[in-house]
């Protein structure tokens, strides 16, 4: 399976509740590589670009207001089948439909406060990554010399 990248946002509700470490740990445990991670305040412009496909829906302004309400952790994760893997790990958008063991099933409080966002396709991931990160902020694992440092016995 080909390696791909996906955007993940740890939303304001999860940041405020101190869930950053647990969420990041789940992606690391599945073998995904972090390509970029930053704590940021989402601007209205970024939020409107990110949720562009929902601009004509009645809940659009609520999405924008929530994602801009306090800091988020924006991340890019890479690995084989990363988009589908992250989506499965997150669970359904509505946490009531998410089984235990998924991020939303274990941590989300409501549909509005569902803890994380993950790209829904490789095409969406490419678009979303460009909204939140410049090319210079993205680590190229294959060409950077980056790798896991293993402790010697």
- Determine the average pLDDT of the residues in 43-59: 96
pLDDT of residue 141: 73
Rounded Cα–Cα distance for residues 98 and 73 (Å): 22
Helix 122-132 vs helix 82-90: crossing angle, to nearest 10:
80
- Kindly compute the dihedral angle of the four CA atoms of residues 22, 65, 58, 109, in this order, to the nearest 10 degrees: 30
Task: Answer for the pair 108, 114: CB distance below 8 angstroms, yes or no.
Answer: yes
> Which residue in the block uniquely carries the two structure tokens 């740990």?
25
Query: What pLDDT was estimated at residue 149?
Result: 47
Encode pLDDT of 100-144 as tens digits: 999 999 999 999 999 999 999 999 999 999 999 999 999 987 766
Known catalytic residues are 117
Calpha distance 37→14 (Å, rounded)? 15
Residue 151 has pLDDT above 90, yes or no: no
Architecture of domain 3-141: 2-Layer Sandwich (3.30)
pTM of the model: 0.91
* Residue owning tokens 């293993």: 150
pLDDT tens track for 82-99: 999 999 999 999 999 999
| Burial of 91 from C-beta contacts in 10 A (0-12 / 13-18 / 19+) | buried
Domains of the chain, by residue range, sit at 3-141
Per-residue model confidence (pLDDT) at position 140 = 86
Please give the mean pLDDT across all residues of the chain: 93
pLDDT, tens only, 12-38: 999 999 999 999 999 999 999 999 999
User: How many CB atoms are located within 10 Å of the residue 89 CB?
Assistant: 20
Rounded to an integer, what distance in angstroms lies between the CA atom of residue 134 and that of residue 153? 39
Query: Residue 152: what pLDDT?
Result: 53
């Amino acid at each position: 399976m080909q390696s791909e990248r996906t955007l993940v946002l740890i939303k304001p509700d999860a940041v405020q509740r101190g869930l950053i470490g647990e969420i990041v740990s789940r992606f690391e445990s599945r073998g995904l590589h972090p390509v970029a991670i930053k704590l940021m305040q989402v601007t209205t412009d970024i939020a409107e670009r990110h949720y562009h496909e929902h601009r004509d829906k009645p809940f659009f302004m609520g999405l924008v207001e929530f994602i801009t309400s306090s800091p988020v952790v924006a991340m890019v994760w890479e690995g084989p089948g990363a988009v589908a893997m992250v989506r499965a790990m997150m669970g359904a958008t509505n946490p009531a439909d998410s089984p235990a063991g998924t991020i939303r099933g274990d941590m989300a409080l409501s549909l509005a406060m569902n803890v994380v966002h993950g790209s829904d396709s490789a095409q969406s991931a490419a678009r979303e990554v460009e909204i939140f990160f410049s090319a210079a902020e993205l680590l190229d694992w294959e060409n950077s010399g980056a790798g896991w440092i293993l402790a010697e016995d």
